[in-house]
Amino acid sequence: MTFRIAAVAALSLAAAASPAVAATDDGWCGSEDLLITVSEGRAPVAADRLFAIHLQTAGNGPCTIRGMLSEVRFLQGETDLDVPIAGGQPQEWPEFITVDADSEAVVYMSAPKKAKPQPVDHIRFILPGNGTRGDTVTVPWPSPVGGLVDFGIIVSPVS
């Protein structure tokens, strides 16, 4: 368990340590500005699965975002599933990330491979707002997941 949290923290810290993108006057990212997808990749810890929520431009020009997702729920259809979550709390105020044609923002998550999977087909969460409540979005989830899902904050992608 400690290794998984450390791996997610390392990914978040490595991404946060990358060159910061300055805040711009281009506006805050809302759901209409973003194409949001979820992918599953190779985890740095063999006992874990790694997921990433990609926040890419929807072609409406650049926008800025920072912070964390809130009120995260895993769904099967419209039914909330009991998938426990943790993390997402920054150690310091997160950097501004500019989302445009050349760069995206991402939220990394890990979950144990050996946990009993639940039939998740969507994830619902609230994007961070700019001094207000952000937009609620629901996006497809790539595969069943179970166990404690550890979330990071919104960062630039780790290469």
pLDDT given for residue 148 in this prediction:
96
Instruction: Give how many domains the chain has, as a whole number.
Output: 1
CA atoms within 13 A on the CB side of 27: 12
Within 10 A of 123 (CB to CB), how many other CB atoms are there? 24
pLDDT given for residue 26 in this prediction:
44
By residue range, what is the domain housing residue 7?
Answer: 2-151
pLDDT given for residue 60 in this prediction:
83
What would the mean pLDDT of 125-152 be, rounded to a whole number?
95
Answer yes or no: is pLDDT of 89 > 70: yes
Answer yes or no: is pLDDT of 27 > 50: yes
The answer to whether the beta carbons of residues 122 and 58 sit under 8 Å apart is no
- Residue 134: which CATH number? 2.60.40
Instruction: Give strand ranges (E) for the chain.
Output: 34-41, 48-57, 63-65, 70-76, 79-80, 85-87, 97-99, 105-112, 122-126, 136-140, 149-151
